[in-house]
A and B are shown apart, each in its own frame.
Chain A
Amino acid sequence: MKKIVVLVVLTGFFSVLIAKENLELESLRIEFDNFITQQKYKPYAKAEKAQAKAAIEALYNQRGEVKNHGVYMARYHLTKAKMTAESAYLEDALKETEAHLQTVNMQTLKAEAQLARMEADRAQLLIKLHAEEAERARQEKQTALELANQKASEAEMTQAELEAAQAYAKAQEKVAALAKEEADLAFAEIEALRMQLESLVAKETDAGLMMTLGDFVFASGSANLKQAAVDNFDRVMQFINNYPNRNIRIEGHTDSSGSEDLNEKLSKKRADAVKQLLIQNGIAAERISAIGQGEAHPVASNNTEAGKAKNRRVEIILLK
Chain B
Amino acid sequence: MTIKTLKRMNFVLCFLIVTFLVACTPPTVIDINEDTFYQLQQQVEDIKKSEVADAAPMEMKFITEKLQRAKQAKANGDIREEARLTQQIRADMTIARLRAEVNGLNQKLLDKRDELSAARTYLQQLEAQLP
Q: Which of B91, B108, B112 contacts A101 (CB 8 A)?
A: B112
Interface residues in A63-92 by Cβ distance below 8 A to B read 63-66, 69, 72-73, 76, 79-80, 83-84, 86-87, 90-91
Q: Which of A10, A73, A94 contacts B88 (CB 8 A)?
A: A73
Q: Is there contact, CB below 8 Å, between B102 and A86?
A: yes
What residues of A have a CB within 8 angstroms of the CB of B9 in the complex?
A: 3, 7
Number of interface residues of A (CB under 8 A): 35
Q: What mask results when residues 94 to 122 of chain B are scored 1 for a CB within 8 Å of chain A, else 0?
A: 11001101100110110011011001101
- Check if B87 is an interface residue, CB within 8 A of chain A: yes
Select the stretch in A107-115, A218-226, A287-295 that faces chain B: A107-115
Closest to B122 in A: A108
What residues of B have a CB within 8 angstroms of the CB of A104 in the complex?
A: 116, 119-120, 123
What residues of A have a CB within 8 angstroms of the CB of B29 in the complex?
A: 69, 73
Closest beta carbon of chain B to A268's beta carbon, Å: 114
- Check if B129 is an interface residue, CB within 8 A of chain A: yes
- Check if A97 is an interface residue, CB within 8 A of chain B: yes
User: Once the chains are docked, how many angstroms separate the CA of A115 from the CA of B127?
Assistant: 9
Closest to B106 in A: A90
Q: Is there contact, CB below 8 Å, between A108 and B123?
A: yes
Interface size class of B (residues with CB under 8 A): 35 or more
Q: Is there contact, CB below 8 Å, between A115 and B129?
A: yes
- Check if A171 is an interface residue, CB within 8 A of chain B: no
- Check if A20 is an interface residue, CB within 8 A of chain B: no
- Check if A93 is an interface residue, CB within 8 A of chain B: yes
By secondary structure, the A interface counts as helix
Closest beta carbon of chain B to A187's beta carbon, Å: 98
Q: Is there contact, CB below 8 Å, between B109 and A87?
A: no
What residues of B have a CB within 8 angstroms of the CB of A168 in the complex?
A: none
- Check if B77 is an interface residue, CB within 8 A of chain A: no
Q: Is there contact, CB below 8 Å, between A94 and B108?
A: yes
User: Once the chains are docked, how many angstroms separate the CA of A98 from the CA of B108?
Assistant: 10
- Check if A14 is an interface residue, CB within 8 A of chain B: yes
Closest beta carbon of chain B to A296's beta carbon, Å: 123
Q: Is there contact, CB below 8 Å, between A101 and B119?
A: yes
User: Once the chains are docked, how many angstroms separate the CA of A94 from the CA of B23?
Assistant: 49
What residues of B have a CB within 8 angstroms of the CB of A90 in the complex?
A: 102, 105-106, 108-109
Interface residues in A96-147 by Cβ distance below 8 A to B read 97-98, 100-101, 104-105, 107-108, 111-112, 114-115, 118
Q: Which of B84, B112, B119 contacts A105 (CB 8 A)?
A: B119
Q: Is there contact, CB below 8 Å, between A111 and B127?
A: yes
Closest beta carbon of chain A to B56's beta carbon, Å: 10
What residues of A have a CB within 8 angstroms of the CB of B122 in the complex?
A: 108
What residues of B have a CB within 8 angstroms of the CB of A115 in the complex?
A: 126, 129-130
- Check if B6 is an interface residue, CB within 8 A of chain A: yes
User: Once the chains are docked, how many angstroms separate the CA of A73 from the CA of B85?
Assistant: 11
Given contacts A80-B91, A111-B127, 15 further A-B contacts (CB under 8 A): A7-B13, A65-B24, A66-B27, A76-B91, A83-B99, A83-B101, A83-B102, A87-B101, A94-B105, A104-B116, A105-B119, A108-B123, A115-B126, A115-B130, A118-B130
A-B contact pairs, 13 of them (CB 8 A): A3-B10, A3-B13, A65-B26, A73-B88, A79-B95, A83-B99, A94-B112, A98-B112, A101-B116, A111-B123, A111-B127, A115-B130, A118-B130
Closest 6 pairs (CB-CB, A-B): A90-B105, A64-B24, A83-B98, A76-B91, A111-B126, A66-B26
